[in-house]
Amino acid sequence: MSLAAIELNDAAVALARDGELLSESPGFALMEEGTLLIGDDARRRARLEPRSVSTRFWSRLSNDPVSPATPAGVTFADLAREHVSSVWASAGEGVDGVILAVPGSFERAQLGLLLGIAEQLSLPVCGLVDSALAACRSPAGKGLVVHVDVHLHGAVITGIEASQTFRRIFAHDIEGHGLVQLYDEWITLIAELFVQTTRFDPLHRAQSEQAIYDRLPLWLSTLVAQTSMGIEMEARDGGVHVFRLMRERVVECARDFYARLTADIGELCSGRPFALQLSHGAARLPGLAAALQPAADGPAVTLPAGAGALGALERAAGVADADWQNTLTLSLPRDVIAAHGTVETTR
C-alpha cells in the first residue's frame, strides 16, 4: 500500500510519500492578471504586489470571503483548496491513502472544512493526526515533551506526555505574530542598516525589497550558526552595496516574540521538567533555541523538514485505517514513535 501524508503548516505545507519528503509550499496566494499564483510562485511576487497577496487563508480557514486581495466571491477555503491541489500534484500516481497532519490550532469547524476540501479533490484520506504528535521524537525515559512550531501568523506550543503511549495533553495557539510579522521587522532592520552604512535604501524599489525577502530565509539559517555575515545587494548602476549583519541585531527584533513563547511555555508546563523539540522552521530562527533552552531539561532537538508528514508515514500503523471515521488521532503507542532528530547547541 502506497501512502502519502500532507502536513498543514502554512509556513511550509509539506507532502511526503513512501518515506520521502517530496515538496514544501508556503501558504501564499496572489491574483495576477486573472491568474491565481499559489505557493512559491506567489511568495516570489509578494513584495512586488503586496496588495494582491493573501497569506491568511490557512490561519483563517473558513467560507468567509477573501477581500480585497482576490476577486469577489473567493473564500479562504477556496484558496486552501487550490493550495492543497497544487501540493497534491507532487504526489504522483498510485497513492492508495493519504494522512493529514494538522496543527493543534485548527478548530473543529476548520477540520471539517479541510476534510470537505479533501473530498472535493478526491484525496483518499485514511487518517488525521496532530502534526506535533506525528513529528515527535522519542526522548529518553518518560515525561513531558514540548514541541514548538512557528506559522505565518502565529505559533503553536504542543505538550506531549511520554509514558506507555505518546498523548497530546495541550495545544496552545499564539495568534497575531508569526513569520510574516517577523520578516517585516527583519526587512525593516536590514533596510535601515543598508541606509546607515551605504546610503542605499533597498525599500525604495519593489524589486530590491523582493530580493531581500527571497534571500532572508538563507540569511537567517546562516545566522543560527554564525554571529555575523556579509550582506550584498546589487545597485541600479551595476555596483554592489555591502554591509555586515550581526546576529544580535536580528535576535533583538524578535525578542518580544521569543519572550512570549518562553513565558507561555512556563505557564503551560507549571514548573514540570520537559524535553524541548523545535520544528525545522522554528529552529532556523536565530536565537530562538537559546531563548527557550534555559527552561528545558537537556538540549533542544531540531526536527527535520516535513517532520509532521514524515512522522505520520512512520506511524501509519497507529493512524491510518481503511475504516477511518473522521477521527483526529491524539495519542499513539510508544513503540511506533521513532527515536531520531538532531540535538542542537543553543546560540
pLDDT higher than threshold 90 for residue 262 = yes
Q: What is the mean pLDDT of the chain?
A: 91
Q: What is the mean pLDDT of residues 189-200?
A: 87
Instruction: Give the lowest-confidence range in 115-124, 183-192, 233-242.
Output: 233-242
Q: What's the pLDDT band for 238 if we cut at 50, 70, 90?
A: low
Q: What percent of the chain has pLDDT over 90?
A: 77
- Predicted local distance difference test score (pLDDT) of residue 336: 57
Structural domains of the chain, with CATH: 3-131 (3.30.420.40)
pLDDT higher than threshold 50 for residue 345 = no
Q: Pinpoint the alpha helices (H) of the chain.
A: 40-43, 76-88, 108-120, 131-135, 179-198, 206-225, 247-253, 255-269, 280-283, 288-292, 307-314, 316-319
Digit-coded pLDDT (tens) for 2-17: 999 999 999 999 999 9
CA distance 63 to 185: 31
